[in-house]
Amino acid sequence: MLRTDDGQTIKLADYRPSDFLLHAVDMTIRLFEGRAEIETHLALERRPGVAASVPLELDGDELSLAGLTLDGAPLDSSTYKASPDGLTVFSAPASGRFTLTVATRLVPEENSKLMGLFRSNGIWCTQCEAEGFRRITYFLDRPDVLAPYRVRVEADKAAAPVLLSNGNPVESGDLPGGRHFAVWDDPFNKPSYLFAMVAGDLDAVHEQFTTASGRAVTLGVYTEKGRSAQAAYAMDALKRSMVWDERRFGREYDLDVFNVVAIADFNMGAMENKGLNVFNHKYVLLDENIATDSDYAGVETVIAHEYFHNWTGNRITCRDWFQLCLKEGLTVYRDQEFSADEREATVQRIGSVRRLKAHQFPEDQGPLQHPVRPGEYREINNFYTATVYDKGAELVRMVATILGRDGFRKGMDLYFDRHDGMAATIEEFLACFTDATGTDLTQFALWYAQAGTPTLSVSQSYDPEADRLSVTLKQALEPGAAATQTAPMHIPVRFGLVGSNGQDKEAVTTSEAVVGDVIHLREPETTVVFEKLGDRPYLSALRDFSAPVTLKHEQSEADRLALARLDPNLFNRWRILNDLVAEALTTASRSGADATASPFASEIVEAILASASDQSLEPAFRAQALALPGETDVARLVGENVDPDHIHAVVEAARRQIGESGARLFQELHAELASDGAFSPDAASAGQRALANSALAYLVAATGDPAPATRQFSEARNMTDRLSALSLLLHHFPNSPDTIAALAEFYERHEADELVLDKWFALQATIPDASALERVETLAAHPKFTLRNPNRVRALIGTFAAANQVAFHRADGAGYRWVADRLAEIDRINPQISARIATTFRAWRSLEPVRRDYARKVLRQLVDLEHLSKDLRDIVERSLR
């Protein structure tokens, strides 16, 4: 267990309900320049059975008490105790309801943590998940305390013509002195983390939406002044999300209004506050001149995600923060399904699996490992992780695979029915699927408790005499840093038996482990026999990545190449090819290998080029076939003694090898697919741009000729093409006069747009050269750089540490030192951001000895700093364990 002087460990096993019940919240928020006055009336009641001697204990964080009454009467100072982090009332009535009125005073302008009430470009804004409400007022700030809220906001009319909160608007009007007010009423019980208030001078787009049952809803997307035209795509995505949730899950929206606000200073992507979603403006504002295709996809996904939380998160919330995956894993699953339906399912699945492997696998296989439902934490902010979100979504996907589409829907219907208006647990969630379908999920539930990526080993043998294929599956889970148990789990393995004609053969078997196209592995090892095949099939295993495992499939290269060409499951066609590519890069990256030699056997290059040129496939899929694993993916596969310079050289050599072999194809693709005018953000058009830009990248890598990239940069009519070209120029020719001119032109053109400036900073942070460190040092002193805006910090420092393997991992340790020094500075401003960026050190133990020593040294120096936040300390200490 973890222990430090300043941090206690919170444990799931210690959960108990609150001693007091909360029946209603009535708040008044008065906003002024330089201060905010908060008055909160809490209708409370001692929980029956709780002794009268037990005091009422409310949470606080950096608060100061400005007034306190109980049923209207001031409290004697001996009957309560107030401190910045809590308010204890010793005189709460033994029984019956009472009203506690708490006044606090805040200075939103000084709130640089962006939790609680803060200001962003003049806009007053709140962020309460997970524990931000206690920075606004003293409260039972826990997700299992639910109540209806009535909120009155008052502000200067000129400074804040728009006053928003949760629920429906019920009243508004003018006040003396140029001030005005608005009252919002949220009838749905909610925990405090879903509270929100926004006030400011905002522009908006509005549209009407009619739900399936005929309820009229006014939708609003609010932006900073002058930017509402860039909210059109977000509004469109919102309406599509609302329709999809009705069709796919039978879930309708429930209030008269649904508002989205775009904010420039925001710790994460967005927040699902009831009826008032608050977004990082990066996930709302776009048009083709400022945003890439992946920005469009990001807006669509995040809008859907936050909207879907209305049912999975808000109507049914989490009992405690250990259950975070109950809302996040499920909601990511739902947004992935939405994107699969709106775009191209296989390409979406490839993207999700790439993401899982790039972010969740290293987390699950390193010192920051934790179960999808953790058993303990010191700082909950550090558990908004790829494991909780993305592996959490994979677990829901496995439930759907095990139960089938109809069974899954039945279980979801029961969940909505049974737990609406409540705070639930993972056990309760799983019980709905069992009760709706009769399927026992006891063994499956281990996925929530056991940390680490299981290894799934598959082998097969075909007996031509008997015409039988035996398939043996084994599972293993190594004990890891989280020290959870490693019992065998229920692993659903989707499969196909592919004939040489590229069609699936019927799977004839007497094995009870096989249901339809899924083998249910429950034991450490199982053998399944298939009969009446006619001839030897190719075994296509783990189709659609049906379980988040490391697959070790003993299969000949010939079989794998055959499947990469003809597997009717397109996901597996990609996956098998990608595994061949990743293995070759890994072999070439191990110490002792020649980093500059061509890493691929010619068959692999041919397979890549065959996919890339196959006109029967979606361009987006072809682009995925061309996309190499990232350098951090290769580092994870190499596993020990990692030399990032060596890996970088190998990946460059791979790019050259593919580029040279496919030069003619790439020339054709780039010419054929180059954008010819009108821009459309749809998935098919984006896929064409992706393939064209991938072709361009290979051309430049193979020829070393900047001309086509220079031309594309100056002729591009959308950000996707412009940024791709600029990226190639910067990566291959960072100091050429043309590149310097292009970079300067880009800056001048977009200087006024914060979101594009982030791209300008981020791109320079990725230049794969040791001197990129000096460049980011210089950029950190640029007038447009600030440590106060999380997007800017992530763009320059976060990108450098996460995406520049060469310069961050400089062999002289200077990259580590620079990032660690910045972390110490950021930590004093915004600990959530410093802690998040610090996770880039987590793989330090797998580095070669020289870098490993430097990394350990800077981590130890960080721990020794006196004023480290709880957030950053937790990450660094766990990284060192």
**Does residue 455 sit in helix, strand or coil?**
strand
Q: How far is the CB of 274 from ligand TRP (least distance, A)?
A: 12
Residue 509, judged by CB atoms within 10 A of its CB (0-12, 13-18, 19+), counts as: middle
Closer of 257 and 833 to ligand TRP (Cβ)? 833
Which ranges of 71-139 would DSSP assign to H, the alpha helix?
none
Q: How far is the CB of 755 from ligand TRP (least distance, A)?
A: 17
Instruction: Give the residue nearest to ligand TRP (CB).
Output: 268
Closer of 392 and 768 to Zn ion (Cβ)? 392
Site of interaction with ligand TRP (CB under 6 A):
127, 129-130, 267-268, 270-272, 305-306, 328, 384
Task: Choose among ligand TRP, Zn ion, none what residue 834 binds, the Cβ cut-off being 5 to 8 Å by kind.
Answer: none
Q: How far is the CB of 811 from ligand TRP (least distance, A)?
A: 37
Q: How far is the CB of 287 from ligand TRP (least distance, A)?
A: 24
Task: Choose among ligand TRP, Zn ion, none what residue 820 binds, the Cβ cut-off being 5 to 8 Å by kind.
Answer: none
Q: How far is CA 411 from CA 270, 312, 421, 446, 640, in A?
A: 28, 14, 17, 19, 43
The answer to whether 183 touches 216, Cβ cutoff 8 Å, is no
Spatial separation of the C-alpha atoms in residues 402 and 396, rounded to whole Å: 10
Question: Nearest CA to 273 among 286, 262, 259?
Answer: 259
> Both tokens of residue 42?
């809490």
- DSSP letter at 312 equals B
Task: Choose among ligand TRP, Zn ion, none what residue 631 binds, the Cβ cut-off being 5 to 8 Å by kind.
Answer: none
Q: Mind giving me the DSSP string for 23-62? A: EEEEEEEEEETTEEEEEEEEEEEEPTT--TTSPEEEE-SS
Q: How far is CA 258 from CA 120, 127, 154, 162, 239, in A?
A: 22, 17, 21, 15, 11
Closer of 280 and 401 to ligand TRP (Cβ)? 280
Q: Is 306 a known active-site residue?
A: yes
Task: Choose among Zn ion, ligand TRP, none what residue 267 binds, the Cβ cut-off being 5 to 8 Å by kind.
Answer: ligand TRP
The answer to whether 128 touches 142, Cβ cutoff 8 Å, is no
199 phi and psi angles, rounded to 5 deg: -145, 135
- DSSP letter at 359 equals I
Task: Choose among Zn ion, ligand TRP, none what residue 127 binds, the Cβ cut-off being 5 to 8 Å by kind.
Answer: ligand TRP
Q: How far is the CB of 331 from Zn ion (least distance, A)?
A: 5
Closer of 269 and 407 to Zn ion (Cβ)? 269
**What HEC string does 619-640 produce?**
HHHHHHHHCCCCHHHHHHHHCC
Closer of 424 and 563 to ligand TRP (Cβ)? 424
Task: State the number of binding residues for Zn ion (CB under 5 A).
Answer: 2
Task: Choose among Zn ion, ligand TRP, none what residue 141 binds, the Cβ cut-off being 5 to 8 Å by kind.
Answer: none
429 phi and psi angles, rounded to 5 deg: -60, -50
> Going by C-beta distance under 8 Å and a sequence separation of 6 or more, which residues neighbour residue 522?
443, 488, 489, 490, 491, 513
From 235-243, 260-268, 329-337, 676-684, give the range in contact with Zn ion by CB under 5 A. 329-337
Task: Choose among ligand TRP, Zn ion, none what residue 268 binds, the Cβ cut-off being 5 to 8 Å by kind.
Answer: ligand TRP
Type of residue at 265 = D
Q: How far is the CB of 116 from ligand TRP (least distance, A)?
A: 11
Closer of 321 and 746 to ligand TRP (Cβ)? 321
Q: How far is the CB of 755 from Zn ion (least distance, A)?
A: 22
Residues of span 369-398 touching Zn ion by CB under 5 A: none
Q: How far is the CB of 170 from ligand TRP (least distance, A)?
A: 27
Task: Choose among Zn ion, ligand TRP, none what residue 276 binds, the Cβ cut-off being 5 to 8 Å by kind.
Answer: none
The answer to whether 476 touches 457, Cβ cutoff 8 Å, is yes
From 219-227, 327-335, 583-591, 684-692, give the range in contact with Zn ion by CB under 5 A. 327-335
Task: Choose among ligand TRP, Zn ion, none what residue 222 binds, the Cβ cut-off being 5 to 8 Å by kind.
Answer: none
Question: Nearest CA to 245 among 348, 347, 337?
Answer: 337
**Does residue 454 sit in helix, strand or coil?**
coil
Q: How far is CA 161 from CA 217, 274, 653, in A?
A: 22, 21, 58
> Both tokens of residue 99?
């009203």
Closer of 61 and 129 to ligand TRP (Cβ)? 129
Distance of CA 586 to the CA centre of its chain: 27
Task: Choose among Zn ion, ligand TRP, none what residue 718 binds, the Cβ cut-off being 5 to 8 Å by kind.
Answer: none
CB atoms within 10 A of CB 539: 20
Closer of 332 and 843 to Zn ion (Cβ)? 332
Closer of 271 and 431 to ligand TRP (Cβ)? 271
Q: How far is the CB of 707 from ligand TRP (least distance, A)?
A: 44
From 74-82, 138-146, 325-333, 554-562, give the range in contact with Zn ion by CB under 5 A. 325-333
Closer of 189 and 331 to ligand TRP (Cβ)? 331
Q: How far is the CB of 222 from ligand TRP (least distance, A)?
A: 17
Distance of CA 771 to the CA centre of its chain: 31
The contacts found for 777-786 with CB under 8 angstroms, 24 or more apart, are 777/818, 780/822, 784/751, 784/757, 785/761
**Does residue 848 sit in helix, strand or coil?**
coil
> Both tokens of residue 329?
């894993």
The answer to whether 488 touches 522, Cβ cutoff 8 Å, is yes
> Going by C-beta distance under 8 Å and a sequence separation of 6 or more, which residues neighbour residue 741?
none
Task: Choose among ligand TRP, Zn ion, none what residue 270 binds, the Cβ cut-off being 5 to 8 Å by kind.
Answer: ligand TRP
Task: Choose among ligand TRP, Zn ion, none what residue 61 binds, the Cβ cut-off being 5 to 8 Å by kind.
Answer: none
What is the four-CA torsion angle of 198, 202, 207, 208, rounded to 10 degrees? 40
Q: In what order do the strands lie in the sheet with 455-463?
A: 525-531, 468-476, 455-463, 550-553
Task: Choose among ligand TRP, Zn ion, none what residue 807 binds, the Cβ cut-off being 5 to 8 Å by kind.
Answer: none
Distance of CA 453 to the CA centre of its chain: 19
Q: How far is the CB of 86 from ligand TRP (least distance, A)?
A: 22
> Both tokens of residue 801?
């540490």
Closer of 385 and 437 to ligand TRP (Cβ)? 385
Active-site position among 131, 154, 272, 306: 306
Q: How far is the CB of 193 from ligand TRP (least distance, A)?
A: 8
Closer of 277 and 720 to Zn ion (Cβ)? 277
From 155-163, 324-332, 658-666, 719-727, give the range in contact with Zn ion by CB under 5 A. 324-332
The answer to whether 192 touches 208, Cβ cutoff 8 Å, is no
Closer of 724 and 839 to ligand TRP (Cβ)? 839
Q: How far is the CB of 866 from ligand TRP (least distance, A)?
A: 27
Which residues are identified as catalytic? 306
Binding residues (CB under 5 A) for Zn ion: these are 328, 331
